[in-house]
Amino acid sequence: MSNFGQILKKIGAFGLFQKRLVAALCIPIVFTAFDIIGQVFTGQSFPHHCNTDWILKLGPNLTDERQKNLTLPVNKAGKYESCEMFSPVDLDLEIIEAYGINTTTGCINGSVFEAPKGASSIVTEFNLVCDRSTLIEASQSIYMAGLLIGSLVLGQMADRFGRRFVVLLSLLLLLVFGVGAGFSPNIYVYIVLKFACGFSVSGIVLNSSVIGGEWSDSSKFAFCTIICHSTFSLGLMLLCGIAYLIPNWRILQLVLYSPLVVVLGIFYWSAASQTSWT
């Protein structure tokens, strides 16, 4: 009795069906690039300093530069400190201008960011600077933990329920959690959703290229894998252009992940289940 590999050679080891399948499998890899590298743009930092609007109660007509001179200390490089301010005092403006303030404190009223008009990121919106800046690194570490756990769980699920099912499930989860991250009310919800995105990405990366290889002759397995993963670079190029045009991180999240609705339909129609011999 002929095995599956022999049947493939007779009917076409890499025919139209396989080419169409590999083309469909390339699309999800583009979105994995969006997710893995996306925080470079959604977590972009901008120049900032402490919010010192307390002094405007004493002098509402102060210019921005004069306000900084009176309320922000200067570092050795001659620039205003980013995470330090003079302690608020209950004195007349004339006394402050004449004698200055000698004590300093942290940014007790948050920070002011010098971002371009319309630009925002999780850093500006959730105030992830100074003593809260470690939450950015924490979010990336937790995201990587999601990739790890996803590879362990979804790899086993693929062997049991089929790779097509797992990729479709992963695409659905990435759509839900990727779009959901754009509505995060705080950094902690964002971190949880990014963990779930990392979990989902593992299922796509591990199984997409394998499906194409399984439905092709063994001599084409490496070729299918290379083609699928090469589109990761395409995703990076697209991400840079889209992020340049959309500086608002919440809108960027929606634009990057919403097309997964269409991708789910394409993949459902194009991708076949894994072969019986795997």
Range ranked top by mean pLDDT from 107-116, 160-169, 253-262 = 253-262
pLDDT in tens, 244-260: 999 999 999 999 999 99
**Beta-carbon contacts of residue 64 (< 8 Å; ≥ 6 apart):** none
Residue in the structure block whose two tokens are 């670079």: 233
pTM value is: 0.84
d(CA 277, CA 254): 40
d(CA 179, CA 35): 11
Q: Which two tokens stand for residue 101?
A: 């303030």
Q: Residue 71 pLDDT more than 60?
A: yes
3-state secondary structure 84-126: CEECCCCCCHHHHHHHCCCCEECCCCCEEECCCCCCECHHHHC
pLDDT in tens, 73-107: 988 888 899 999 999 988 888 888 888 888 999 98
The number of C-alpha atoms within 13 Å of 45 and in the hemisphere containing its C-beta is 15
